[in-house]
Structure formats: structure tokens, C-alpha cells
Amino acid sequence: MVFLYLISISCTIKEEPPLGLIVFSGIEPIHAVPGEKVQIYGEGFSTDINDLDVNLYGYKLRIENLTDTLVSVFIPEDIGHGNFRMSLFRQNYKMSSREYEIKDYNAPRIFGVEPFGASPGDTLTVFGEYFPSDPDEFKHFFPGYGRSDYYIP
């Protein structure tokens, strides 16, 4: 005679999915000055501010905002200018960015150009900030300035 006993135990275990690798997809603005807020875009950052450290040239950066795909940090006031790598540390993962430039002045930044996909001879409107007030200074920021087909109103 064979007895078969079936026992059913039901339990619920909540498991958090493990975080994957840290991936950088971009940093805005393209360069910064000391004290400026910087946005780092990517994946795998975490949503717990205690899980992530952001370092730049030996400085631990203050995190203002954190999602799994966005980190907002401030560049330290006392950092020098130059090209540095930004590093993100989370648990056993580390990822470093391309070199990121810290400038000692607000250099021009382009946010957009209209029309997109212009043809030769078209007039472009360039949107941005920190453009020089003296048109002669444009030659430092816009290659080709001074050619007969290059016009800045």
C-alpha cells in the first residue's frame, strides 16, 4: 500500500530585481563652469541616492536628483578647469564617462539650429547662450566665419 501526501505551502517572497551595469548615454551641458548643475543621462543609476556616488577628479559631487536614467549633480566651486572623467559608483559597478570639460568661463552653447537639414545658401538661425557680443569674436567659435558665404546678422 502506497500513501501519497501532497503538501502545498504558499509563501510570497518579494525580490528586488538586481540592477544591471551602469551605462552613460550623455552629459548636458557639453561643458560646465564651477558651481553649475549638470545632467547625466544613461541607465542603471538606481533610484536610491545612497546607492550611487558620482566623482569628478577626486571630488564627490552632490546629487540633487536621481532616477534610474538621470542624475543631476553640481560641479564643485573650487575645482580647476580642464578635462576630467566623471565616474559613477553603484554597489560593485563603476563606469567612467568620456572626458568632460570644466571651463573657467561660460563658452557659447548651441541648443538648436533652424531649419534642420538646411541646404547651401539657406539662412540658419542658431539658438543658444553665451554668444560673444562682438561679431569679430565669432571666428573663435564658428569655423568658416569671415568667408563670403558666411553671414552673421
The per-residue DSSP string of 13-78 comes to ---PPPP---EEEEEESSEE-TT-EEEEEEE---S-TTTEEEEETTEEPEEEEE-SSEEEEE--TT
User: For the chain, first and last CA: distance in Å?
Assistant: 100
Residue 37 scores a pLDDT above 90: yes
* Residue spans per domain, the chain: 23-102, 108-153
Over residues 109-141, the pLDDT tens digits come to 777 888 877 788 888 787 888 877 776 766 655
Give CATH for domain 23-102.
2.60.40.10
**Residue-level pLDDT at 64:** 94
Confidence of residue 98 (pLDDT cuts 50, 70, 90): confident
Over residues 61-77, the pLDDT tens digits come to 999 999 999 999 999 98
Mean pLDDT value of segment 78-101: 85
Cα gap 72→66, rounded to integer Å: 6
Furthest-apart CA pair in the chain: how many Å? 103
**Residue-level pLDDT at 105:** 78
Cα gap 52→126, rounded to integer Å: 37
**Residue-level pLDDT at 149:** 47
Q: Which of 106, 107, 70, 102 is nearest to 88 (CA)?
A: 70
Confidence of residue 38 (pLDDT cuts 50, 70, 90): very high
More confident site: 17 or 22: 22
**Which residues in 113-149 are b (16+ Cβ under 10 Å) and which e?**
eeeeeeeeeeeeeeeeeebeeeeeebeeebeeeeeee
**Residue-level pLDDT at 10:** 52
